[in-house]
C-alpha cells in the first residue's frame, strides 16, 4: 500500500485517535492531541511496556521523576554542551533544515545558497519563578533517563535491589526538533518509555545483547510481523556522546526503515558524571564481596507515539466482507482501544434492557463500547476500523434463549454463547 501513511493518518483523524493540537487555531507546529480512541491505544501501549518491564520481572522497579530538574543535571549529562543538531538556513527562502537530513540544496526551493552548519541545542529553555534572569533558567527534560540516574542512590537504598537490576520510567520529554514530521513519528513533545539497567562493569556486553533480543521480542509478542522489524547496530561515528555501543530496533515504515527504539550501552558515563558534578558517591557496595564499583548501564529507550504509529501501520488492513470493502485494524487484543462492543440488533425498547445488562456485566472487566445507532453492518464496520476484537450482538432470540452472538474481528466467525458463559468466553480470549 504505497499511500499507507496517508490512510492511517486519515483513519486516525476520522475515528478520533489523533487530532492536530489547537486545531481550531490552525494547529500548532507538529503537536498532536490523542482523542478518545487514541488515549486508550496510548495507555495500552504504555501498560504493555510496564507489564513486560516491571510487573512481570523481579529485577526492575518503577519511578516517576519530575520533568523540571536542576539545570546542573544537564551540564553533568552533557546535554547542554552536546545535545545539538547541525542547523543550516536557506538564504533564498529562509527555511531552516537539519544539515544531516538534506543534500547540498534546499528541499523547499532548490537553492544551493545555504549557510554553514552550526550546532543548535534541542533543549527547550524556560524560567522558574517570577524573575526571568539567568539564575532562573531551567530546561524541559529531553529524555526521562536523567531522572533515573539522579535517583540511583535513593532507589538502591529504598528497594534493596542489587546489580543487575533496572529502574523503569515513562513520561513526557521535549526536544526542539528542527524538522519534526511524519505525523507522530517525530514531534517536539513526546512520551518515552525508558529503562536503565545497572550491571557489574564486566557484564555490560552480555546484558546489551540480552536487551536487544528482549526488546525485539516485545514488539513481535504484540503482533508486529517479524519481517517489518530489524536490529541495526550504530557505526562508531553515529554513537551518542555517552554510548559505547547502540543498536536501534527499526521498523519498516512506508518511507523506509526507521528507528523505533534505541538500546544503548551507556557504560558508567552518567553515574560518574553525576557523582562528579553533585559531589555524591554514586556507587554500589557489594557487602558479600566487599567490592565497590560504579555500575554500567544498558538502556532500552522507546517512544510511545512512535510505537503507536508503527502498531497502527502494521495493523491497518483492507479486505472484502460479503462483497463490501472494509477497513480493519488488526491490533493485538492487548492494544485494541475497545475490547468488546455490545450491539443490540435494533433500538427497540424490548432489546435495550437486556443489552444494557450485558454491557454492565462486561464493562467492569474490559473497555467496552455500547452502540445502538445505524444498521448492524455499519456498526460492525465502525468497530473493525477501531480495531475492536469482539462484537456481542443481542437479538430478539436472546430474549428467549438467553444467548448472544459473538463476532470475531479477524476470522469473522460468529459463535452463539449463553449470557451465563459470555464473560468466561471473552476472558479466555482477551486475557492472554
**Binding stretches for ligand GAP (CB under 6 A):** 143, 145, 175, 177, 186-187, 190, 192, 194, 259, 261-262, 299, 301-303, 305-306
Q: Which is nearer to ligand GAP, 194 or 372 (CB)?
A: 194
Q: Number of C-alpha atoms within 13 angstroms, CB side, residue 57? A: 19
Q: Which is nearer to ligand GAP, 170 or 393 (CB)?
A: 170
Q: Which is nearer to ligand GAP, 261 or 395 (CB)?
A: 261
Q: Which is nearer to ligand GAP, 189 or 369 (CB)?
A: 189
Q: Which is nearer to ligand GAP, 49 or 390 (CB)?
A: 49
**Which helix (DSSP H) or strand (DSSP E) does residue 33 occupy?**
strand 32-34
From the number of C-beta atoms within 10 Å of its C-beta (0-12, 13-18, 19+), residue 12 rates as: buried
Contacts of 96 (CB under 8 A, 6+ apart): 87, 88, 89, 90, 178
Q: Which is nearer to ligand GAP, 42 or 379 (CB)?
A: 42
Shortest reach from residue 125's CB to ligand GAP, in Å: 17
Shortest reach from residue 50's CB to ligand GAP, in Å: 16
Shortest reach from residue 320's CB to ligand GAP, in Å: 35
Shortest reach from residue 145's CB to ligand GAP, in Å: 4
Q: Which is nearer to ligand GAP, 187 or 383 (CB)?
A: 187
Separate counts of helices (H) and strands (E) for the chain: 13, 23
The three cell numbers of residue 103 are: 543534500
Shortest reach from residue 266's CB to ligand GAP, in Å: 8
From the number of C-beta atoms within 10 Å of its C-beta (0-12, 13-18, 19+), residue 362 rates as: buried
Contact 284, 265 (CB under 8 A): no
Shortest reach from residue 246's CB to ligand GAP, in Å: 8
Shortest reach from residue 333's CB to ligand GAP, in Å: 24
For residues 169 and 195, give the distance between their C-alpha atoms in angstroms, rounded to a whole number.
6
The three cell numbers of residue 221 are: 509478542
Could you say which DSSP state residue 279 is in? -
Angle, alpha carbons 376-380-382 (nearest 5°): 115
Shortest reach from residue 183's CB to ligand GAP, in Å: 10
- On the question of a cis peptide bond just before residue 164, with omega within 30 degrees of 0, the verdict is yes
Give the three-class secondary structure for 377: helix
For residues 302 and 34, give the distance between their C-alpha atoms in angstroms, rounded to a whole number.
18
Which residue's Cβ lies closest to ligand GAP? Answer: 303
Q: Which is nearer to ligand GAP, 144 or 383 (CB)?
A: 144
Give the three-class secondary structure for 325: strand
For residues 124 and 122, give the distance between their C-alpha atoms in angstroms, rounded to a whole number.
7
Amino acid at each position: 500500500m504505497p499511500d499507507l501513511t496517508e490512510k492511517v493518518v486519515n483513519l486516525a483523524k476520522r475515528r478520533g485517535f489523533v487530532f492536530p493540537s489547537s486545531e481550531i487555531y490552525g494547529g500548532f507546529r507538529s503537536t498532536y492531541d490523542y482523542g478518545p480512541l487514541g488515549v486508550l491505544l496510548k495507555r495500552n501501549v504504555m501498560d504493555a511496556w510496564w507489564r513486560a518491564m516491571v510487573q512481570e520481572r523481579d529485577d526492575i522497579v518503577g519511578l516517576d521523576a519530575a520533568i523540571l530538574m536542576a539545570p546542573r543535571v544537564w551540564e553533568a549529562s552533557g546535554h547542554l554542551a552536546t545535545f545539538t543538531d547541525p542547523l543550516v538556513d536557506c538564504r533564498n527562502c529562509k527555511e531552516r533544515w537539519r544539515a544531516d537530513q538534506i543534500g547540498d540544496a534546499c528541499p523547499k526551493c532548490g537553492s544551493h545558497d545555504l549557510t554553514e552548519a552550526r550546532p543548535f541545542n534541542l533543549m527547550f529553555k524556560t524560567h522558574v519563578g517570577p524573575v526571568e534572569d539567568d539564575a532562573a533558567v531551567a530546561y524541559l527534560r529531553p529524555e526521562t533517563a536523567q531522572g533515573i540516574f539522579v535517583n540511583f542512590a535513593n532507589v538502591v537504598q529504598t528497594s534493596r535491589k542489587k546489580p543487575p537490576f533496572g529502574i523503569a520510567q515513562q513520561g513526557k520529554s521535549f526536544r526542539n526538533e528542527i524538522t519534526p514530521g511524519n505525523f507522530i513519528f517525530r514531534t517536539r513533545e513526546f512520551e518515552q518509555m525508558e529503562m536503565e539497567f545497572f550491571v557489574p562493569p564486566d557484564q555490560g556486553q552480555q546484558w546489551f545483547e540480552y536487551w536487544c533480543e528482549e526488546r525485539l521480542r516485545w514488539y513481535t509478542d504484540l503482533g508486529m510481523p517479524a519481517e517489518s522489524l530489524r536490529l541495526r547496530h550504530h557505526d562508531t561515528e553515529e554513537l551518542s556522546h555517552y554510548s559505547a555501543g547502540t543498536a536501534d530496533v527499526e521498523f519498516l515504515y512506508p518511507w523506509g526503515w526507521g528507528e523505533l527504539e534505541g538500546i544503548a550501552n551507556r557504560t558508567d558515563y552518567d553515574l560518574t558524571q553525576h557523582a562528579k558534578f553533585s559531589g555524591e558517591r554514586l556507587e554500589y557496595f557489594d557487602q558479600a564481596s566487599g567490592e565497590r564499583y560504579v555500575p554500567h548501564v544498558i538502556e532500552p529507550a522507546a517512544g510511545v507515539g512512535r510505537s503507536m504509529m508503527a502498531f497502527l501501520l502494521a495493523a491497518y488492513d483492507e479486505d472484502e466482507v460479503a462483497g463490501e470493502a472494509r477497513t480493519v485494524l488488526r491490533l493485538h487484543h492487548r492494544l485494541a482501544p475497545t475490547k468488546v462492543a455490545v450491539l443490540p440488533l435494533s433500538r427497540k425498547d424490548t432489546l435495550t434492557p437486556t443489552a444494557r445488562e450485558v454491557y454492565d456485566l462486561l464493562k467492569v472487566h474490559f473497555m467496552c463500547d455500547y452502540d445502538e445507532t445505524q444498521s448492524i453492518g455499519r456498526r460492525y464496520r465502525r468497530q473493525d476500523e477501531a480495531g475492536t476484537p469482539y462484537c456481542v450482538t443481542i437479538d430478539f432470540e436472546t430474549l428467549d434463549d438467553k444467548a448472544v452472538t459473538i463476532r470475531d474481528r479477524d476470522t469473522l466467525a460468529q459463535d452463539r454463547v449463553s449470557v451465563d458463559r459470555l464473560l468466561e468466553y471473552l476472558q479466555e480470549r482477551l486475557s492472554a
